[in-house]
Structure 1
Amino acid sequence: MTNLPFKAVAVDVDGTFENDDKEYDHQMFKQILHQLHQHGAHFIIASGRPAGRLIEDFSEFIDSVDLVADNGAVLVRDGKIIRTTTFSKKGILQFVDYLRRRYPGSTKTLLVSGVKHSYFLKSTPPKFKRSHHYFYPNSIEIDDFSQIPADDQYTKLTVDYPSKVRRELEYGFNSRSVEKVNVTTSGWNYMDIIRQNVNKAAGLKEFLAYLDVPRNELIAFGDGENDIEMLKLAGLSYAMANGQDSVKKIAKFIAPSNNDNGVFKVLNKYLNKA
């Protein structure tokens, strides 16, 4: 039994666990992870990043953490994908066509995330190509989205477009399509499009059930709107000081910013008390 008030930790990555330079203190994480495991607590990374990127980011800890990737569309345990929630190729192309007609120019920054590879247009501006290649290391440039292969599994679409339209986009597409979507944002203009009812909380519920940890014994950290369901799920919820106001309103506590090792400071506080 643990003296900690939680048995599982869930953290977002960008703007939460990592600083603005996309870095984290590996040695400090190693120490905290060791202490958490001594208390019987589990650690779960819950991010909008794809599984391939997260496996690289946490390569030295991959046997000690679980991953909720693509905002809950992909679950990874022991470095292996154990579940995916996907779109059909037809559904992807229907969404791309809707974007192209309803929001002209939006597909220039669009990325389609698959399990094998991710895909974006050769005509994508260089700024977004660099971002796509970093976050999606298995990405491929194509001439047209009709070229995405039929044998991949498509988990998410990402587009750089003013996120104020996300509800309009979600409602407009869902009123026309059998494959319904959930449109979320991590705090920038980037919108993530995943299957309806898919989110970080849904992925975490599966891990909590597997680990036999009740939701009131989960502590979660986040900064963006794609973290809201996860923070609502957790017994202990922390919004980062740098987080969006909408996230701070629903979290029970505020953690120091991502540039001030906020996650580590909060966890160390609990570990020192234990």
Structure 2
Amino acid sequence: MLDTLRSKFLLIQTIRMPDIRLIATDMDGTLLNSAHKLPNDFYQIFEQLCEKNILFVAASGRQYYNLLNVFEKIADRMSFIAENGTYVVHKGKEIASSLISPETVLRVIDIVMQIPNTGIVVCGKNCAYYQTEEPEFVYTVGLYYGRKQKVNNIKEHVSDCLKIAVFCGNGTEENVYPHVKQLLEQDLQVVVSGKVWLDMMPKGANKGEALKKLQQALDITSEQTLVFGDYMNDIEMLQDAKYSYAMKNAHPIVQKVANYVTHYSNDEEGVTKEIKKLVL
């Protein structure tokens, strides 16, 4: 009898759900599928998280206003880590922001313009500015920026810059990063954020530092944090959570950094399946 009770107690201990108070997830390649759509059961999951007082955070390289459009129905009930960690908003209130100096922005523009087949987005607090008219670039900018403006001279729009995004349809890891790494990494956080994107932020700014600021503001620990990501710009955020999950489809380097790997990819609704298993 005593052995039976002890076995039941050990079983309960084994299956006890972790005390998760915050869930942060990357968007593209993670929460969103290849068609840039949310999982079918996302809003049902979100309501269940709210009932359990678990905060949901969208953490992305995307512009804040683009994320507002994606989560229009629930934006005032969640948090955002936008522009790869340079802009943090909790339930409509700015928590933190980091800016690149105009002089540095101009220097970056001059360097990147020498690299073939690239496009530049200067990501201001209130609007994203671009100059290149190449169709693939313009289309891709439209996917990630809700407030954007085509300008004749991008060098005239360098104030209040949160991030500089560089597009290369041939791949930024091979064709852009090697050119800018040594020239710019002393002054900026340079990260390959996707197959065709490279982002530059103020030194020390990343999703992980942004997550820490949000955790501190809300008195939430890394042991109470669940994170999902798929690319190199998610690494610092994954390192700041006990329950860190790289997607099944994640970059191999990211899978090595995370504590766990999801059983399903972003196209198989891997994030919501893991959330249901862990906390619901």
With structure 1 as the length reference, what TM-score do the two structures score? 0.88
AA in 1 matched with 2:279: L
Determine which of 47, 51, 57 is the counterpart of 1:34. Answer: 47
Farther-moved stretch of structure 1 (135-144 vs 28-37): 28-37
Counterpart in the other structure of 2:254: 247
Separation (CA, whole Å) in 2 of partners of 1:157 and 1:246? 23
Contact 2:23 2:227 in 1 (8 A): yes
1:211-230, aligned counterparts within 5 Å?
211-230=218-237
- Is residue 2:273 matched to residue 1:265? yes
Query: Of the candidates 128, 137, 146, which is equivalent to residue 118 of structure 1?
Result: 128
> Aligned partners of 1:186, 1:90: CA distance in 2, in Å?
24
Write out per-residue CA displacement over residues 5-37 of structure 1, whole angstroms, 9 at most, x where no aligned residue.
Answer: 3211110000000100000136x2222222222
Deviation at 1:215, TM superposition (A): 0.8
Q: Which runs of 4+ in 1 moved over 6 A?
A: none
Q: Does 1:13 align with 2:15?
A: no
1:160 matched to 2:171? The reply is no
Structure 1 unpaired stretches of 5+: none
Distance 1:75 1:47, change over 3 A: same
Give the number of aligned pairs: 260
1:145 equivalent in alignment to 2:159: no
Letter in 1 for 2:87: V
- Whether the aligned pair in 1 keeps the contact of 2:62 and 2:144 (CA below 8 Å) is yes
* 8 Å CA contact 1:221, 1:238 repeated in 2: yes
Unaligned runs of 5+ in 2: 1-15
Decide whether the 8 Å contact of 1:10 with 1:43 is kept in 2.
yes
| 1:199 matches 2:206 | yes
CA contact (8 A) 1:231 1:250 kept: yes
Maintained 8 Å contact 1:4/1:39: no
Q: Contact conserved, 1:71 with 1:226, CA < 8 A, in 2? A: yes
Question: How far apart are the structure 2 equivalents of 1:5 and 1:95?
Answer: 43
AA of the residue aligned to 1:264: T
1:242-263 CA distances to partner (integer Å, 9 max, x unpaired)? Answer: 1110111111111110011101
What per-residue deviation string (whole Å, max 9, x for no partner) do you get for residues 35-88 of structure 1? Answer: 222222211111010101001111111122100000000011223434220112
Counterpart AA for 1:142: V
Q: Percent identity?
A: 28
* 2:56 is equivalent to residue 43 of structure 1: yes
Change (3 A) 1:39 1:137: closer
Residues 154-193 of structure 1 aligned to structure 2 (within 5 Å) = 154-161=161-168, 162-164=172-174, 165-166=176-177, 169-174=180-185, 180-193=187-200
Alignment of 1:127 onto 2:146? no
Matched, 1:55 2:68: yes
Q: In 2, Cα distance between the equivalents of 1:76 and 1:213?
A: 16
Aligned-residue Cα RMSD (Å) equals 1.9
Asked if 2 retains the 8 angstrom alpha-carbon contact of 1:93 and 1:145, the reply is no
Q: Is the 8 A contact 1:222 1:239 kept in 2?
A: yes
Could you tell me whether the CA contact under 8 Å between 2:17 and 2:278 is conserved in 1? Answer: no
The answer (yes or no) to whether the contact 1:170–1:182 under 8 Å persists in 2 is: no
Q: For each residue in 1:86-134, what CA deviation from the matched residue of structure 2 results, as whole angstroms up to 9, or x when unmatched?
A: 1122221121112234x3x35x51111111211111x430111111123
Looking at structure 2, the residues matched to 25 and 184 of structure 1 have their Cα atoms a distance apart, in angstroms, of 27
Partner of 2:164, secondary structure, is: strand
Look up the SS of the partner of 2:245 in the other structure. Answer: strand
Q: Which amino acid aligns with 1:99?
A: V
Alignment of 1:102-117 (within 5 A): 103=115, 105=116, 108-117=118-127
| Mapped partners of 1:216, 1:21: distance in 2 | 33
Structure 2 residue 239 is the aligned partner of structure 1 residue 232: yes
Question: Do the aligned residues in 2 keep the contact of 1:98 with 1:173 (CA within 8 Å)?
Answer: no
Q: State the one-letter code of the partner of 2:75.
A: I
